[in-house]
Amino acid sequence: MNDPLTYQELAALMKKGAGVSVDPQEMESRPASGFDEYGLDSLGLLGIVGVLENRHGRPLPADADRCKTPREFLDLVNHTLMTGA
């Protein structure tokens, strides 16, 4: 079992993978805000998906890079990592 992905880790991935600096507490307090509001585009999210797939050695769902909000993305990724589905 893997530890769930947190807002802190997501913010770090956004910074490293897409050069987007986001305050994880702000993202957590506004989980329904779109990635576009934080300056992350679909290509940046696709890069984050790739990093997570490499890190965990398993693919994420094909639509993971189409998530619109941090909450939607974290729910999908954590469900996949916890259940293996």
Instruction: Give me the pLDDT at residue 43, please.
Output: 92
- At 18, list the tokens: 């897409």
Taking only the tens place, the pLDDT of each residue in 18-75 is 889 999 999 999 989 999 999 999 999 999 999 999 999 989 998 899 999 999 999 9
In the chain, the domains with their CATH numbers are 7-83 (1.10.1200)
Structure-token pair, residue 85: 């589905």
pLDDT score for 81:
86
Give 30's contacts (C-beta < 8 A, 6+ positions apart). none
Please report the pLDDT score of residue 17 as a whole number: 84
Number of helices followed by number of strands (H, E) in the chain: 4, 0
Q: What is the pLDDT of residue 84?
A: 73
Which pTM value belongs to this model?
0.91
Query: Crossing angle of helices 42-56/70-83, nearest 10°?
Result: 20
1 Cβ contact partners less than 8 Å away, ≥ 6 residues apart: 82
